Amino acid sequence: MTNYGEEGTHVGSAAALDAADLVFGQYREAGVLLYRGYPLELFMAQCYGNARDPGKGRQMPVHYGCPQRHFVTISSPLATQIPQAVGAAYAIKRADASRAVVCYFGEGAASEGDAHAGFNFAATLECPIVFFCRNNGYAISTPTSEQYRGDGI
Amino acid sequence: MAAAAAALRHLALRARLAPSPTAGAPLQRLQQRRGLRLSAPAAIQVTVRDALNQALDEELERDERVFLLGEEVAQYDGAYKISRGLWKKYGDKRVIDTPISEMGFAGIAVGAAMAGLRPVCEFMTFNFSMQAIDQVINSAAKTCYMSAGSIPVPVVFRGPNGAAAGVGAQHSQCFAAWYGHCPGLKVVSPWSSEDAKGLLKAAIRDDNPVVMLESELLYSVPFEMSEQAQSKEFVVPIGKAKIEKPGTHVTLVAHSRPVGHCMEAAAVLSKEGVECEVINLRTIRPMDIETVEASVAKTNHLVTVEGGWPQFGVGAEICARIMEGPAFNYLDAPAVRVTGADVPMPYAKILEDNSLPQVKDIVFAVKKTLNI
């Protein structure tokens, strides 16, 4: 689960956010959390699942999260974060109009039904959310030509 | 009516218990005493992965309506290499890489089955089948009944189930109890290579929807496969358990990887003079409770072992059925369940190891039920 080549997308998008904006990632957004000041030692502790891991060894590597930095803990099933991000955005809209939500996902995850539902609800519920698709051309070995037939997500 | 049926089952059980010496008995005693291992002629070691691959290859060749679909099954040779070489051999029409949508491709499989094809739908793990579970249960499982038999759905859903190693809560759940709960589905859970090949072939040839729960940790494990098991017509019947090791003091019942743990526990206990009978369920639904009943009637003690969670699990079902049937009268102690811990699977190794049944847990349960 590396982030090679996508560092620019993390740092650039994170720089555009306010510190309190809520981030839902997929599993390839370590740079966003790093930009918000999450210590390298804690990244490593999480990967090792050792005694210093704030997640107490419950989660697989790269499944980090940090409530204080408004970064929702990574969850494995693809695209489940999309409707959840929309729900969170809806809750935020009702509570505090100055915050937004950003939801990251890969082009492969966008094939999941949850993605369609999430986009649809974001529109119909008019939620303050930015959907950020990291299209890196492959989902494991499946190229975009087999993932979708449009000109993009 | 119910009393008559119960009486008949009791008689059937007694008939099964009647001793019938086999020609191989002296040989078995020799093997046990001297620790000899005798292989059948022309048997070879085959990993579970290769056995599954053989089954898929043979069934693709045998019936042109059979096809594979799932994520990474074609060009990548399968996420766990189960379908290695099959896309190269059979091409795009028979082995299909799908976009990432379990609900989508499970639905496509169900539709294709309704229209006359025989799909084998791979879930990268059964954890992800939850994204498609409506298709599996509401459509595949129920359609034949809802259509009064006019619309069969001959689909196989297969993939790794249960714990792997260090993959955390969302990749480690056992779905035997969930799928085993539903009428309209057949559910199989192989342990050995023979189980894997024979049950997959049986599943593909079955006109019902079949859920095949494999184990990632077993894929690379070699098992002996007899010459008969290596043949293209080798099929293991769905709904029949196998006694992996006969014994007299206690019955151990398990499915999938825990069968191996039971065999190890049986070896440990044998040294202490306790002979376990180890039953490999092979099929979760329809469950072969008769084999368990006959065994309990002989040993008078029952320990069930599973990797899944305890509540509403496979062991719970076995215990309930034993209580409801004639074998209850033969129990000298309450049946004991050895199960996974009732928590989402943690990641750290020390936590994970202690969340799954280990050989020592099985040995402990046996000693507890035998009061030794």
Task: Concatenate the DSSP letters of all residues of A61-115 into one string.
Answer: TT---BGGGTEEPP-SSTTTHHHHHHHHHHHHHHH-TT--EEEEEETTGGGSHHH
Residue of A nearest to B78 (CA): A141
Q: pLDDT tens across B306-317, in order? A: 999 999 999 999
Distance of CA B276 to the CA centre of its chain: 20
Task: Give A77's contacts in chain B (Cβ within 8 Å).
Answer: 127-128, 130-131, 170
Cα R_g (chain A), whole angstroms? 15
Distance CA(B165)–CA(B356), nearest Å, equals 11
Question: How sure is the predictor about B23, in pLDDT bands with cuts at 50, 70 and 90?
Answer: very low
> Is it the case that residue B304 has pLDDT exceeding 50?
yes
Task: Give B350's contacts in chain A (Cβ within 8 Å).
Answer: 57
Q: pLDDT tens across A16-72, in order? A: 999 999 999 999 999 999 999 999 999 999 999 999 999 999 999 999 999 999 999
pLDDT more than 70, % of chain B: 91
Q: pLDDT tens across B164-197, in order? A: 999 999 999 999 999 999 999 999 999 999 999 9
Residue of A nearest to B77 (CA): A141
Residue of B nearest to A112 (CA): B101
- B334 cis-preceded (ω within 30 degrees of 0): no
The answer to whether the CB atoms of B101 and A140 lie below 8 A apart is no
Q: Which parts of B85-146 fold into alpha helices (H)? A: 86-90, 102-114, 133-134, 143-146
Structure tokens at B249: 């003091």
**What mean pLDDT comes out for the span B267-285?**
98
Question: How sure is the predictor about B203, in pLDDT bands with cuts at 50, 70 and 90?
Answer: very high
- Please indicate whether residue B25 or residue B66 has the higher confidence score (pLDDT): B66
The answer to whether the CB atoms of B99 and A108 lie below 8 A apart is yes
Element (H, E) at B296: helix B289-299
**Ramachandran category for residue B200: left, alpha or beta (phi over 0 → left; psi -120 to 50 → alpha):** alpha
The answer to whether the CB atoms of B168 and A58 lie below 8 A apart is yes
Q: Amino acid identity of B337?
A: R
As beta bridge partners, residue B186 has: B210
pLDDT more than 90, % of chain B: 89
Determine the distance in angstroms separating the CA of A128 from the nearest CA of chain B, rounded to an integer. Answer: 26
Distance CA(B127)–CA(B36), nearest Å, equals 42
As beta bridge partners, residue B119 has: B67
Q: Which of B77, B84, B100, B126 to mutate to test the interface with A (most CBs of A within 10 A)?
A: B100
Task: Concatenate the DSSP letters of all residues of B27-74 into one string.
Answer: HHHHHHHHT---PPTT-EEEEHHHHHHHHHHHHHHH-TTEEEEETTSS
Q: pLDDT tens across B102-115, in order? A: 999 999 999 999 99
Cβ-contact B269, B251 below 8 angstroms? no
Distance CA(B37)–CA(B269), nearest Å, equals 19
- Find the angle CA(B192)-CA(B195)-CA(B200) to the nearest 5 degrees: 130
Cα R_g (chain B), whole angstroms? 21
Residues of B belonging to the active site: 102, 171
Q: pLDDT tens across A68-88, in order? A: 999 999 999 999 999 999 999
B347 touches chain A (CB under 8 A): yes
pLDDT of residue B13: 75
Residues in contact with B253: Cβ distance below 8 Å, sequence separation at least 6, in sequence order: B241, B279, B281, B292, B295, B302, B303, B304, B305, B315, B318
pLDDT of residue B31: 55
Q: pLDDT tens across B315-360, in order? A: 999 999 999 999 999 999 999 999 999 999 999 999 999 999 999 9
Cβ-contact A119, A89 below 8 angstroms? no
**What mean pLDDT comes out for the span B253-260?**
98
Cβ-contact B175, B124 below 8 angstroms? no
pTM of the model: 0.90
φ and ψ at residue B46, rounded to 5 degrees: -130, 135
Q: pLDDT tens across B241-252, in order? A: 999 999 999 999
Judging by DSSP bridges, how do beta strands B336-338 and B222-225 pair with one another? unpaired
Structure tokens at A152: 């993009």
Residues in contact with B300: Cβ distance below 8 Å, sequence separation at least 6, in sequence order: B330, B331, B332, B333
Q: pLDDT tens across B27-38, in order? A: 556 556 666 666
Residue of B nearest to A49 (CA): B348
**What mean pLDDT comes out for the span B37-63?**
91
pLDDT of residue B113: 97
Residues in contact with B114: Cβ distance below 8 Å, sequence separation at least 6, in sequence order: B143, B151, B153
For residue A113, which of B175, B130, B74 has the smallest C-alpha distance? Answer: B130
Cβ-contact B156, B120 below 8 angstroms? yes
- Please indicate whether residue B38 or residue A115 has the higher confidence score (pLDDT): A115
Determine the distance in angstroms separating the CA of B96 from the nearest CA of chain A, rounded to an integer. Answer: 10
> Is it the case that residue A99 has pLDDT exceeding 90?
yes
Task: Give A111's contacts in chain B (Cβ within 8 Å).
Answer: 99-101, 104
For residue A153, which of A120, A113, A109, A117 has the smallest C-alpha distance? Answer: A109
Q: pLDDT tens across B82-105, in order? A: 999 999 999 999 999 999 999 999
Question: How sure is the predictor about B39, in pLDDT bands with cuts at 50, 70 and 90?
Answer: low
SS3 A131: strand
The answer to whether the CB atoms of A112 and B72 lie below 8 A apart is no
